[in-house]
Amino acid sequence: MMVSFILFGYFFSATSHVTEVEVFERKVDINVAHICSNRVSCTNFNLKQVHQVCGQNFTLNTGVKPQKYIKYVSGKSAGCNAAGVCHVDVGTDNVEYYHGVIDCHQHRDNENVATCICKLYIQY
């Protein structure tokens, strides 16, 4: 399983006038067949798959003990952006400030595997 981490990227949402800062990104291959094909949509993306892609929680290093843990609690909504591309909004236990997203792309050479990227944002 391929996993990579990128911390502290930045993103600004001009339409909602809310500043969002990406605090976590993880890329992983998961076993899931036929994402957003004629046979299967991604609306059944479940919490187990959210945890496969994002992990169960994110440790926010505040420099103070104890550290803050942001838990991933749901795949709130999911939809197909295109054939083989699934987008999932991920709920957290701190919805006021943190939200996540997952984007999965079906492998062209293996219809049973998708590469998924989880991103966690803080908004203020």
| Cα(49)–Cα(47) distance, integer angstroms | 5
Q: How many other C-beta atoms are found inside a 10 Å radius of the C-beta of residue 78?
A: 20
Q: Find out whether 21 and 70 touch, Cβ atoms under 8 Å.
A: no
Tell me the pLDDT tens digit for each residue of 108-119. 888 889 999 999
Tell me the pLDDT tens digit for each residue of 63-116. 776 667 889 888 877 888 888 899 999 999 988 889 999 999 999 888 889 999
Mean of the pLDDT values across residues 58-63? Answer: 77
Which structural domain range is residue 96 located in? Answer: 3-123
Which sign, positive or negative, has the C-alpha torsion 74, 50, 75, 10?
Answer: positive
CB-facing half-sphere around the CA of 79: CA atoms within 13 A: 3
- Please provide the DSSP assignment of 40-80 as one string: --STT--HHHHHHHH-SEEEE--SSSSPEEEEEEEEEEEEE
Q: Total structural domains in the chain?
A: 1
User: For residue 100, which phi and psi values (nearest 5 degrees)?
Assistant: -125, 165
